[in-house]
Amino acid sequence: YHSKNPIRLPYFVDLSQPADFSLNHTVNMYVSSEEGISLGVWLTVPESQWKEAQGKDLNWYQESLGDGNPVFIYFHGNTKNRYNTLGYHVVVPDYRGFGDSTGEPTEDGLTTDALYIYNWVKARSGSSLVVIWGHSLGTAVSTNLAVKLLEKGTAKISTVCIKKMKSPILFLHSEDDHLARIENLREIVASAQNKDRVKLVKFDGSKGYLHNGLYRDAKLPGVIKDFVASL
């Protein structure tokens, strides 16, 4: 994770104004995961609340996290920032050194940020289901977070981490992904502690999704809804 050149993409974009991206159902905020670190975060409400969200302040968005709808915490990849959305309530942080968040990214630092965001969400979401979603680099962050929550200790991302996890896991993979090989995922799934709670969904490589394009698949919302319903 260590980088001397924190990723702050896209250039010349003000991430503090989600409305500039036509996200009128999203609010921006900043939190401090530790002294000297400020993390930019977007909160997005479910589609059913988009009209009600117009003109609402940060307190309204925070309180809505406890309305019983599932809450996704989305950890993005290493060349992305929080200009991403999913369904349900979505909490999208930028790690330290990404977007307009301060600091320099390291493995321990990103895990600290993820743990802080998780605890922040849990403190406000009541009995709502909280789902951790990771893409690319975010899968490492998510796994480290899950293991840290399980053991309350330091975790390094590896197959060993997956073996320790007991929560249901959904892997989404495009067969033409040139960065994450399907063989590696099969090995991880086979090594999982609760194989019956781990699912690998593959997408046809001929569709050209590669590493970043699964969001374009029309079946993806249904796959996510089925997974959430199984939790």
Q: Say whether pLDDT at 156 is over 60.
A: no
Looking at the DSSP bridge assignments, the partners of residue 27 are 43
User: Could you tell me if residue 3 is inside a domain?
Assistant: no
User: Could you tell me if residue 9 is inside a domain?
Assistant: no
The length of the chain is 231
Q: Which domain holds residue 165?
A: 18-229
Burial 4-34 (b: 16+ CB within 10 A, else e): eebbeeeeeeebeebeeeebebbbbbeeebe
pLDDT of residue 216: 85
Domain total of the chain:
1
Average pLDDT over residues 106-112: 92
Give per-residue pLDDT as tens, 163-221: 666 678 888 888 888 777 666 666 666 666 566 778 888 888 888 888 778 878 888 88
This prediction's pTM: 0.75
Q: Choose between 199 and 90: higher pLDDT.
A: 90
pLDDT of residue 158: 58
User: Could you tell me if residue 217 is inside a domain?
Assistant: yes
Average pLDDT, the chain: 81
Highest-pLDDT range among 4-18, 22-36, 66-80, 197-211:
22-36
Where residue 203 sits, what CATH number does that domain have? 3.40.50.1820
Cα–Cα distances (Å) from 200 to 19, 125, 175, in that order, read 35, 28, 12
Q: Say whether pLDDT at 8 is over 90.
A: no
Pairing of strands 89-93, 198-203: unpaired
* 202 vs 190: CA distance, rounded Å: 15
User: Could you tell me if residue 12 is inside a domain?
Assistant: no
Task: For residue 73, report the phi and psi dihedrals to the nearest 5 degrees.
Answer: -100, 115
